[in-house]
Amino acid sequence: MENHHPKPVENYMTVNMILIFVNLMWVFVVLWSYWGLGIVLILAVFLNHLITRIDLARRRRDAEFDSI
């Protein structure tokens, strides 16, 4: 019987970031066309705040693991 080891998976991080950017852009354009620039700015600030909070939570979690 032969051992078939799985091949390493390619890194799709760059492709995923581009896809997220493209999707976010068309959502912003649609929102801008319906409700104006204000709602897009509010959503952008909210997403920025959410990303910052996730980053802080991950840093806190990593700091706890490093101290153990």
Rounded-to-integer distance, Cα 12 and Cα 15, Å: 5
Rounded-to-integer distance, Cα 19 and Cα 3, Å: 36
In sequence order, the 6+-apart residues with CB closer than 8 A to the CB of 68 are none
The answer, as to whether pTM is greater than 0.75, is no
Tens of pLDDT, residue by residue over 11-62, are: 899 999 999 999 999 999 999 999 999 999 999 999 999 999 999 999 999 9
- Whether 3 has a pLDDT exceeding 80, the answer reads no
